[in-house]
Amino acid sequence: MISYPDTRADDHVEDHHGRKVPDPYHWLEDTTDPRVHAWIDAQNAVTEEWLADAEEREAFRARLRELTDRPRAGAPWCRGERWFQLRNAGLDDQPTLWVADAPDATGAVLLEPTAEGDETTALTGAAVTRDGALLAYALSGEGSDWQTWRVRDVASGRDHDDVVEWSKFSPAAWLPDGSGFFYGAFDPPAADGAYLAATRGQWLALHRLGTPQADDEVVFVPEDPDWVLSPMVSDDGRWLVVTLSRGTDPHSRVWVADLAAGESEPRPLLDAADASYEPLDVVGGELYVQTDAGAPRERIVAIDLARSRVADDDASRWREVVAEDPTDTLDHAVIAGDRVLTLWLADASSRLRRDRLDGEPDGEVALPGLGTVESLAGRPGDPLVHLTFASFTRPSSIWRHHLETGETTEVGVPRAGPLPFDPERFVTDRLVAESADGTRVPFFLVRRRDLEPAPDGGPHPTLLWGYGGFRIPVTPMFRTHWLAWVERGGVLAVPNLRGGGEFGAAWHADGRLERKQHVFDDAIGVAQQLVEQGWTHPERIAIKGRSNGGLLAGACLTQRPDLFGAAVVEVGVLDMLRFHHSTIGWAWKSDYGDPEDPADVDTLLAYSPLHNVADGTAYPATLVTTGDHDDRVVPGHSFKFAATLQAAQSDPSSPVLLRVDRSGGHGAGKPTAMAIDERADVLAFLARTLGLPADSER
């Protein structure tokens, strides 16, 4: 029986529009409090003691290192006569940026984020001038969203003196002559520890090279502090294009400035915020925009900027370039050469199509199979397009498509060598479950080819991973820890839950706000089907998710503790009455609702994991993970949920563990060694609680 750390329960009560809601572990939100630090250490000690007894922990760690220790690289991109590419030799803590004179050349290291010895320092932004001479790069430390921009001379590898701080959620966009760049930033936090405070009021500035940041010109401040900015300078260098979004709401605005005419302050172009608008680039004076205006599965239109001196929200003036598809969803697009390449989701898997800029279809680009195009790199006038492609059982590979010949070839990753596993041993099935309201919910099932459902092979330890939110599509993706699980005889189920972006705007809308419960019902429906079909039993299935997926896991384990043998809740949004008070949490109201609105409180309370833990309930074994420097979903969510669940748990055989990464954030930029340790601990937890056979062959 586990002896949990003593966690003080206060009589703190929150008043939500007249509703008195106890919040006894409110004090755990303050990560500057020495008592909270001591509590974290005590929780980590309990978790470490339990995991130390997990027989498979070291075996999983060794296997994850083996699967990770091979060269990886992203799609190369070109600026001027130079090619740039992110690479990792295998176990490097962070990817390194390389520069070469050709896409296949070895080249040289341009930027190593960890050069000064901090393995948590990650490259989180990179923008190169049109001539390839200067690199603006952003570094972040300890997993934080805050970025600091610097400028490096590409030829010499030396940094300029420029330092631009307190940027977040924004790329850099260079002026055409390379004399400066636009960026989005916030006022610096007021005091130590204030990084947890709500982050509002982003502004757009222009930094001129060789000048202090204090002299930067603020070119645009939105009237509403909840609008978040993303600047882009068109490939021809003439236009500044700024996308504005209210948090995570897909409805957006687009403002523009004619740099060639001496403008720097943008003016409205698409300002109704009535649909999603994603600018692609400007070609021939037309701005190409991906949008769901009049097309729930999205389309691409062109807007003549020369005619649009005022806001041009009149769709009758737009030229349709790529029409909405009746069955597939437009996920992403790039303009390359004299064509637009459109990436579609066909039943949640990638399909790549070519269209001419005049709107004429130009055929399909053959892909290696069922999987995901993870990145697509090309630009107007460039005859080459590079992409990366992955599936559940094949890691990311690099492919080159020649626009003139139509030829697509695998470039591969230099010195990658053979895979340390045989992909043919595994199979990915496409199945469908039924949700509580009768909605059909598709899901992927990944397994070893020799595994079958009962009575011949089941029940198998099964991991159900999901997300279901913010219009983010879930498609086939390669994860080393998933492969380590499946090759040992575990089953992986990955559903396309409502709230995601796989099937267009309507699918997203049916899993947000007052319909958020549909997301949890969908995951529960998939779990029930896995049981009914004989793949597993309730005591051998785990629900797992990260961030918004952590909310999914928390809601499912509190709503149906009888259906799961384990749960892994990673950096989850778990307190649905206070998520909006910290960092960027307010931005999620578009999916969750507003706790300040009395009409939304009942909906939020109905599924909030923290508020639906019931004393004396037998909950499944649960592992809660977070980072003490997470400034996306602040760690107080995880701290309070773990403490509440520990106090309520009635089954002494099912542990409730909290694992906190020191100097860790939300996940992006996590050093490779730290990530391997975390994944090994999660797999060891699942193997022990679900009964994964220790003698399964790889």
d(Cα 402, Cα 180) in Å, to the nearest integer? 33
173: CATH: 2.130.10.120
CA distances (Å), origin 56, targets 286, 397, 434, 576: 58, 30, 35, 36
Predicted confidence at residue 210, as pLDDT, reads 97
d(Cα 684, Cα 124) in Å, to the nearest integer? 31
The answer to whether 179 is a known catalytic residue is: no
**Does a structural domain hold residue 339?**
no
Model-wide pTM > 0.85: yes
Predicted confidence at residue 174, as pLDDT, reads 98
Same domain (yes/no): 674, 528? yes
Same domain (yes/no): 51, 162? no
Q: Cα torsion at 64, 66, 71, 75 (round to 10°)?
A: -30
**Does a structural domain hold residue 541?**
yes
State both tokens at 341. Answer: 């390449």
**Does a structural domain hold residue 271?**
no
For 248, half-sphere exposure in the C-beta direction (CA atoms, 13 angstrom radius) is 22
Same domain (yes/no): 494, 564? yes
pLDDT tens string 125-183: 999 999 999 999 999 998 889 999 999 999 999 999 999 999 999 999 999 999 999 99
d(Cα 135, Cα 147) in Å, to the nearest integer? 15
Same domain (yes/no): 513, 655? yes
**Does a structural domain hold residue 383?**
no
Choosing from 547, 590, 608, 638, the catalytic residue is 547
Predicted confidence at residue 693, as pLDDT, reads 82
User: Are residues 403 and 384 in contact, defined by beta-carbon separation less than 8 angstroms?
Assistant: yes
* Segments of the chain with pLDDT less than 70: 191-195, 308-313, 456-457, 695-698
Neighbouring residues of 611: CB distance < 8 A, sequence distance ≥ 6: 21, 575, 576, 577, 605
Positive/negative CA dihedral, 458, 459, 462, 464: positive
User: Are residues 222 and 201 in contact, defined by beta-carbon separation less than 8 angstroms?
Assistant: no
Same domain (yes/no): 523, 634? yes
Same domain (yes/no): 517, 636? yes
Instruction: With H, G, I as helix, E, B as strand and everything else as coil, classify residue 484.
Output: helix
Task: Give the residue from 634, 547, 550, 626 showing the smallest Cα distance to 584.
Answer: 634
Same domain (yes/no): 525, 661? yes
491: CATH: 3.40.50.1820
d(Cα 259, Cα 181) in Å, to the nearest integer? 12
Residue with tokens 């002299």: 215
Task: Give the residue from 573, 532, 537 showing the smallest Cα distance to 553.
Answer: 573
**Strands 566-570 and 541-546, sheet pairing:** parallel
**Does a structural domain hold residue 432?**
yes
Same domain (yes/no): 574, 633? yes
User: Are residues 336 and 355 in contact, defined by beta-carbon separation less than 8 angstroms?
Assistant: no
Same domain (yes/no): 126, 60? no
Predicted confidence at residue 698, as pLDDT, reads 44
**Does a structural domain hold residue 466?**
yes
Neighbouring residues of 608: CB distance < 8 A, sequence distance ≥ 6: 574, 575, 576, 577
CA distances (Å), origin 66, targets 69, 86, 419, 628, 695: 5, 21, 10, 28, 19
Q: Give the rounded distance of the alpha carbon of 638 from its chain centre.
A: 19
Positive/negative CA dihedral, 592, 596, 597, 603: positive
Predicted confidence at residue 436, as pLDDT, reads 98
Same domain (yes/no): 88, 29? no
Same domain (yes/no): 600, 627? yes
Domain total for the chain?
2
The answer to whether 276 is a known catalytic residue is: no
Same domain (yes/no): 501, 632? yes
**Strands 541-546 and 462-465, sheet pairing:** parallel
Q: Determine the length of the chain.
A: 698
**Strands 134-140 and 122-128, sheet pairing:** antiparallel
**Does a structural domain hold residue 96?**
yes
Instruction: With H, G, I as helix, E, B as strand and everything else as coil, classify residue 74.
Output: coil
Domain that holds residue 527: 13-65+420-690
| DSSP character at residue 355 | E
Instruction: With H, G, I as helix, E, B as strand and everything else as coil, classify residue 260.
Output: helix
Which residue type occupies 679?
R
